């Protein structure tokens, strides 16, 4: 055993220069510390243990790394691996893993892992933001934070074996700004209790039959009132004189797109109005705003009803769910109603974890450089002032009035193959607004994101609206 241990330590022993660095860190250079010198073998043990700890941490979530590689796909070789960007609080570990960035967008991938329990699941949502630095196009302002940090976090996967969730989030740089290196991910809370609801159900099965109805007691809690709808011409005066709700489970059917929520009853109640009664799974509830308005909404989708009446509803809590009343949709609207759908959307809560904490990680971004093409001119009747290309995206500044924003762009390589780029974020402004000009003078900034990365050395040209933007190579 002793010989085997000695052999293993000889194999793990760091190079001499690394040990010298460790000596300096431990001893600090004072006479007192020098009197207590560690042997090189002891130092080797300390450093080897540190290396093993880091390796073990990196290997703790292989399934997440595999998922990340699948998410990146063809972009994986272009993604930056970020080391050492990790912190813990409340038994939760947050680690920034990777980034894919150019002068248009910085997309950051990070994980959240429960290191002390099993409190997470596939319903995890986060509260916080990603910030990044940029050098403004206005000279002399130096480095600043991007004015619109993102708080939109997308859950890509959850691995129950390692209790690890993988997220992505993106920050978009202002037109013309030069992205800086500094970035920070800050989280203030997480929860698995929030449930986003977006479900639809066909109204084809609705008949003119009056369904069993129940009176609404004075203690009933209305979670969304008809007069809460912005700019609605309708008020509580438009509600039925005798409030009722549908009795449960008369014609149950699934609510497509919503989990643990279903249509318990749907049709016309004894008040002559159209109702949808939703059933909730165990523990599902509707959170209330302090104003008394709920966070669960409904409307009717055309083909039939296509006016303000389809947005006008009132929702009341009932045992095990919610009754949604459409006070302006009556039996006379049956033929209009049947071809359409009803939609339910918003937020509910379920049993789960809710934590407050502080997770803050500073890290540096590496950006793929954008190249400005040495071409300007007319393209599809627009005057193009500037075109930039990176391996990930294309931007065009022009006097376009809106057509570019809806049109795919194509990158054509020297071998004749093409890569499509879908329209992304952009901006438009009328420079003649307020100047009394008869015609608008548009200034447009359009962006496209490539479906797969393109080596700029292999790029021959861009095509948009069947016209060509040349790419000259030196």
pLDDT at 163: 95
Q: What is the pLDDT of residues 164-222, one digit of tens each?
A: 999 999 999 888 788 889 999 999 999 999 888 999 999 999 999 999 999 997 777 88
Q: Are residues 129 and 70 in the same domain?
A: yes
Domain containing residue 167: CATH number: 2.60.40.1630
- Bridge partners of 221, per DSSP, are none
Helices 40-58, 2-12: crossing angle, 10 deg rounding: 70
Q: Are residues 67 and 53 in the same domain?
A: no
Which of 306, 340, 364 is where one domain is finished? 364
pLDDT at 262: 97
Terminal alpha carbon distance of the chain: 65
Q: Are residues 110 and 208 in the same domain?
A: no
Distance CA 320, CA 216 (A): 15
- Mean pLDDT, rounded, of the chain: 83
Sequence-distant (≥ 6) Cβ neighbours of residue 144 within 8 angstroms: 133, 134, 135, 136
Percent of the chain whose predicted confidence (pLDDT) is above 70: 80
Q: Are residues 79 and 161 in the same domain?
A: yes
Sequence-distant (≥ 6) Cβ neighbours of residue 120 within 8 angstroms: 112, 114, 158, 163, 164, 165, 192, 353
Q: What is the pLDDT of residues 217-275, one digit of tens each?
A: 777 788 877 766 666 677 778 889 899 999 999 999 999 988 899 999 999 999 999 99
Distance CA 462, CA 390 (A): 12
Domain containing residue 396: CATH number: 2.60.40
Q: Are residues 79 and 32 in the same domain?
A: no
Q: For residues 411 and 454, is the Cβ–Cβ distance under 8 A? A: yes
pLDDT at 441: 79
Sequence-distant (≥ 6) Cβ neighbours of residue 255 within 8 angstroms: 199, 200, 201, 261, 262, 263, 278, 344
Q: Which two tokens stand for residue 312?
A: 């006008």
Q: Are residues 70 and 181 in the same domain?
A: yes
Which of 284, 317, 348 is where one domain is finished? 348
Confidence grade of residue 434 (pLDDT, cut at 50, 70, 90)? low
Total residues belonging to the chain: 474
Percent of the chain whose predicted confidence (pLDDT) is above 90: 60
Q: Are residues 335 and 225 in the same domain?
A: yes
Q: Are residues 288 and 252 in the same domain?
A: yes
Output 438 or 418, whichever has higher pLDDT.
Answer: 418
Q: Are residues 393 and 430 in the same domain?
A: yes
Whether the predicted pLDDT of 23 surpasses 50: no
Q: Are residues 168 and 73 in the same domain?
A: yes
- Domain span at 342: 196-348
Which of 334, 364, 394 is where one domain is finished? 364
Of 16-25, 27-36, 422-431, where does mean pLDDT reach its minimum? 27-36
Q: Are residues 309 and 245 in the same domain?
A: yes
Task: Report the domain count for the chain.
Answer: 4
Q: Are residues 212 and 336 in the same domain?
A: yes
């Amino acid at each position: 055993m002793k010989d085997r241990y000695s052999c293993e330590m000889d194999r793990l022993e760091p190079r001499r220069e690394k040990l010298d660095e460790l000596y300096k860190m431990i001893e600090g250079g004072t006479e007192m510390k020098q009197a207590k010198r560690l042997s090189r073998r002891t130092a080797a043990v300390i450093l080897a243990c540190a290396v093993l700890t880091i390796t073990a941490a990196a290997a703790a979530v292989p399934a997440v790394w595999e998922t990340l590689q699948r998410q990146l796909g063809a972009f994986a070789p272009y993604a930056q691996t970020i080391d050492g960007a990790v912190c813990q609080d409340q038994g939760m570990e947050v680690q920034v893993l990777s980034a894919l960035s150019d002068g248009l967008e910085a997309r950051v991938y990070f994980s959240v892992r429960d290191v002390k329990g099993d409190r997470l699941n596939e319903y995890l949502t986060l509260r916080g933001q990603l910030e990044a630095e940029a050098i403004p196009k206005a000279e002399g302002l130096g480095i600043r934070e991007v004015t619109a940090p993102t708080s939109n976090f997308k859950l890509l996967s959850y691995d129950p074996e390692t209790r690890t969730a993988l997220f992505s989030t993106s920050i978009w740089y202002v037109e013309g700004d030069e992205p800086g290196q500094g970035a920070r991910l800050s989280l203030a809370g997480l929860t698995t209790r929030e449930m986003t609801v977006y479900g639809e159900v066909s109204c084809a099965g609705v008949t003119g039959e009056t369904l069993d109805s129940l009176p609404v007691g004075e203690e009933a809690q209305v979670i969304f009132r008809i007069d809460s709808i912005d700019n609605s011409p309708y008020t509580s005066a438009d509600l039925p004189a005798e409030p009722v709700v549908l009795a449960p489970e008369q014609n149950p059917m699934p609510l497509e797109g919503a989990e643990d929520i279903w249509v318990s009853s749907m049709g016309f109640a004894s008040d002559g109005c159209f109702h949808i009664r939703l059933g909730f799974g165990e523990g599902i509830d509707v959170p209330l705003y302090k104003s008394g308005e709920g966070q669960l909404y409904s409307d009717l989708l055309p083909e039939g009803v296509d006016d303000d009446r389809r947005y006008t509803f009132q929702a009341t809590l009932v045992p095990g769910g919610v009754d949604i009343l459409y006070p302006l949709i009556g039996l006379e609207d049956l033929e209009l109603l049947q071809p359409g759908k009803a939609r339910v959307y918003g937020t509910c809560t379920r049993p789960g974890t809710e934590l407050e904490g502080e997770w803050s990680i500073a890290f540096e971004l590496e950006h793929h450089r954008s190249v400005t093409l040495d071409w300007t001119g007319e393209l599809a009747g627009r005057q193009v002032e500037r075109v930039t290309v990176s391996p990930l995206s294309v931007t065009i500044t022009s006097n376009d009035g809106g057509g570019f924003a809806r049109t795919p762009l194509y990158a054509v390589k020297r071998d004749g193959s093409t890569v499509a780029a879908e329209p992304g974020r952009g901006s438009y402004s009328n420079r003649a607004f307020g100047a009394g000009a008869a015609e608008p003078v548009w200034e447009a900034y359009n962006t496209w994101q490539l479906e797969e990365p393109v080596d700029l050395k292999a790029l021959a040209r861009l095509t948009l609206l069947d016209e060509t933007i040349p790419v000259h190579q030196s």
